[in-house]
A and B are shown apart, each in its own frame.
Chain A
Amino acid sequence: MMLPDDNIQSEFVRLSGISKSFGQNSPALKNVSGIVQGGKITGLVGPDGAGKTTLIRLITGLMQPDVGSISVVGFDTKTDAPSIQGLIGYMPQRFGLYEDLTVQENLNLYADLRSLPLNERTAAFDELLTFTDLKRFTNRLAGQLSGGMKQKLGLACALLKKPKLLLLDEPGVGVDPISRRDLWKMVKNLTKDGIAVVWSTAYLDEAEACDTVLLLNKGELLFFGPPIELTSRVKGRVFKLTGISGSRRLALSRILDRQDVVDGVIQGEAVRIVTTADMNGNDLADTAGKNAKLHAAEPRFEDAFVDMLGGGPGGRSKLAEAAPRIDDQKGKLVIQANGLTKRFGDFTAADGITFDIPRGQIFGLLGPNGAGKSTTFKMLCGLLKPTQGEGRVAGFDLRRDGAEARNRLGYMAQKFSLYGDLSVRQNLDFFAGVYGLSGTRKRERISLMSEIFSFAARDNMPTRDLPLGLKQRLALACAVMHEPEALFLDEPTSGVDPITRREFWTHINGLVEKGVTVLVTTHFMDEAEYCDRISLIYRGRSIALGSPDELKAGVATKQQPDPTMEDAFIALVEASEREAAA
């Protein structure tokens, strides 16, 4: 890794051999060095727990490194933190807004705190409010803004009294793709004025758009440099396999077990593959049937990241292999939503959501935070009573036979709601009990789960102290303990590293092939590609329903012949807004 030192002037932050630990846990950062330059967006990229937030806090001077030093615009964070804090704009993860103050009051507060001269305020407010398109909402309480609007206001507050260095901690999380794209444009504009921007993210597609990237994993710096440099390592090894006959999930499983394949994921009807340098193309395509074809594809940041981590896991799922085949009544509708509507006061959180999922399919509810995904989801697990409409699971009406329906579904909640104080073993015991397992069957299931997910070594560890990847595995184990025929996954892989995510989907794919039906909510566009069909949820309504390929094809234009899921989402939202306006 080389540190560019040709232009000392543009060096805004210099990290020299930073290490930081908290208590007994493994270090949050290990010997990290790098440079943030003016006029550029530097991506701080990595899964949750990689050390991104710690690094940003160290740059603000709110924390001090155990080893190494950081200089920000020439000031050392150890000795000159107050000078640094006068020059930076910082937007923490939850935007740092006071929800019970209005938009204007938040701006006034930060203007005072940053000592913005009074005579410059009118112009600065006007510029920022225009820039963020919040002019109409100056009297609204920040707590009543949408996620995207909060994010823009947070940015506006950080930009008062133009900072030299702008630090954004995961500004894109959970925000709708349109706001995310807007934000990106705004930040890009700022760099034209020479501002240095640090943008931390767990989304690898955001990393690709940065000028420079610090890629972190478990506190270690894996890569520092322009993203294109990283993606070039998999150049010529990335392919898209189309024309798969039979199940693409089974094909993927076979492909992943091959020696010459590094990584593979499902992308709509196709499979995206990263191979080794010496792979056998024809042989590989044959794995997926006679008509299957390999097309060269543009390497992406994620391909390179996985390659760097030594490739993804294999294609076999022990969990799925141990699961019984559910093949009675093929094509039976396992999950049905019929006009599900939920109102909270005069706010409609979900408005007439309708879909059904036949056995052995994955259905996705895709949309930004606050769109109504979780509300729909909760109505279908019987956790929330619909104002109107009905939901059925395995044929049972959730209103009348909620308990029967719940016995047939496994639920994996957002952020893996396990009991942090209980050990791994105790959590397994508890969930087995909750799902009514007892005696020999309980013992068998628990020991099977321990074996499949290799929990044995950590049986007695409190769940709180587990690494994120293991927590997610444990949450999955708890949800499938009773062999449910329907599986509800709420943001199942948000923030986990790509290897864990692949492992997770290998299990899910395997279970689906055995006949399990899956409903998944996600704001993660890539995750939607795993689904057989998805419903785009926006502001409480389903604005589109179809397979990922159908949705993407529907918005393809001459300028954009091969749109991504995110492009499709944006186009569909814009279309629905035009419709609403008309």
Chain B
Amino acid sequence: MNAVNVSKLRDIVRARRFFALVRKETFQLLRDPSSILIAFVLPVILLFLFGYGVSLDTGRTRIGLVIEEQTPLADDLSASFKGSRYFDVLEGRDRRNFDAKLVSGEIRGIIIIPARFASDFAARVNPEIQVIVDGSDTNTASFVQNYAQGVVASWVAIRSVEAGAQEGGSTSPISVEQRFWFNQELTSRFFLVPGSIAIVMTLVGTLLTSLVIAREWERGTMEAMMATPVTSAELLMGKILPYFVLGILSMTLCVIIAVFLFSVPFRGSILALYLLSAAFLVPALGQGLLISAATKNQFLASQLALISAFLPAFLLSGFLFEINSMPVAIQWITFIVPARYLIPSLQTLFLAGDIWPMFLKAMAVMLFIGSIFFILAARSTRKRID
């Protein structure tokens, strides 16, 4: 046999070993209900939770409205509040009636139209109203504050139009119309769905992968594998490939549910979706391998995966919390969280369409982080058991 044939034969042998490992892993995966649960049932639960349960939208917020002196002007403003679609108004004459309700959370804020409101207005001194909010829930507090300002502003505008009309003037008031692009209804569900896709792929890529490798150590099968001519690269790649496919399938399921059940718009291309997801799975799987190289115990592996991959993907990726509003030190940490690059890209992909410069940059960063994980994992995974 000449040299070419020998090396060809070796390739065939390697390929066969590799596919034997992939086949084994696939059989195990299909027969293990817990993998199916994590890859297919969990995403559905997660999407339904975010789709129906968790919503960052404000509906009608209940507030107290105190009118200290009943004047036609105050009544007019109060009618504006009552007519607002953002507020559910309880009316009273004394602030003290509402204090307890604010503390108990029954109402989210108190708006006070003071006694001298009418006289100030007549005197064209800047009339003031007071807004008291529950600062313990900053999100709602700022909503109340902003919407209250909005109500007052439009009321002032309408008043001045009416006043101008009476005076015969032609001062047309400037009306500000807000317009949100791409998500006109500002439905948070549309933002949350792409985020949950990242979460699901983190679970499959990192948690599941590190668990199944730890399980092989615990059951002693890893040792038996290692005593055969298999190389450690074959062993690791044989593990990764099936979970890569599983991650992609799981992502596909998420997208189908999001688009067809929750009517999340899908304005980008399928190619971009799969490229982004594939690029994200590289660091996710790399991290799973790294964890399993560090621990040979399923419990520890799951803890490490949850803390180092799942929680950052949840909290430090811009999924639930705006990265720009985090402390600077934390913002720096987010740069090594792969989900941070995937989530904005997916949001853009769903709601705006393909923006290739953004996607390519995100993919490059994710592949870079992934390759670091893989290098570290390959270094610490030798075919040794001591």
Contact = CB atoms under 8 A, between A and B. Distances in A.
B224 A96 contact: yes
Interface in A534-548: none
A62 B229 contact: no
Between B13, B17, B231, B386, the greatest number of chain A beta carbons within 10 A of the residue's beta carbon is seen for: B386
A526 interface: no
Interface stretch (A82-90, A181-189, A237-245): A82-90
B6 interface: no
A96 B383 CA distance: 16
Interface in B269-324: none
A110 B221 CA distance: 12
A94 B217 CA distance: 11
B13 A115 contact: yes
Interface string A62-90: 11100000000000000001100110101
A113 B230 contact: yes
Contacts of B94: none
B224 A115 contact: no
Contacts of A95: 220, 224
Given A64-B384, A64-B386, A85 B13 contact: no
A92 to B, nearest CB: 5
Interface stretch (A39-47, A97-105, A573-581): A97-105
Classify chain A's interface size.
20 to 34
Contacts of A94: 219-220
Contacts of B31: 100, 141
Interface stretch (B20-28, B50-58, B244-252): B20-28
B224 A62 contact: no
Given A60-B227, A63-B386, A64-B384, A97 B221 contact: yes
Interface string A24-67: 00000000000000000000000000000000010010111000
A216 B12 CA distance: 43
B386 to A, nearest CB: 4
Contact of A92 (B224, B231, B384): B224
Contact of B16 (A60, A63, A88, A115): A115
Contacts, number: 85
A88 B227 CA distance: 8
Interface string B3-43: 00000000001001101110110011001100000000000
B225 interface: yes
Given A100-B28, A109-B20, A86 B220 contact: no
B219 A113 contact: no
Nearest to B216: A98
Contact of B226 (A62, A97, A112): A62
B223 interface: yes
A141 B30 CA distance: 14
Interface in B217-264: 219-221, 223-231
Contact of B20 (A86, A113, A157): A113
A228 B220 CA distance: 34
B123 interface: no
A80 B221 CA distance: 22
Nearest to A82: B229
Contact of B229 (A64, A85, A93): A85
Interface in B344-386: 383-386
A364 to B, nearest CB: 30
A45 to B, nearest CB: 21
Interface in A135-157: 141, 157
A114 interface: yes
Given A100-B32, A109-B24, A85 B223 contact: no
A108 interface: yes
B285 to A, nearest CB: 21
A100 B27 contact: yes
Contacts of B384: 62-64
Contacts of A115: 13, 16-17, 229
Nearest to B228: A113
Contact of B27 (A22, A97, A101): A101
A546 to B, nearest CB: 38
Contacts of B383: 62, 81
Contacts of B229: 82, 85-86, 113-115
Contacts of A22: 386
A167 B226 CA distance: 14
Given A100-B28, A101-B24, A157-B224, 8 more contacts: A57-B385, A62-B385, A85-B229, A92-B223, A110-B228, A112-B16, A113-B225, A115-B17
Interface of A: 22, 57, 60, 62-64, 81-82, 85-86, 88, 90-101, 105, 108-110, 112-115, 141, 157, 167
13 contacts: A60-B227, A62-B223, A62-B384, A85-B227, A85-B229, A86-B229, A92-B220, A98-B28, A109-B24, A112-B16, A113-B228, A115-B13, A115-B229
Shortest 5 CB-CB contacts between residues of A and residues of B: A96-B224, A112-B20, A90-B227, A94-B220, A113-B228
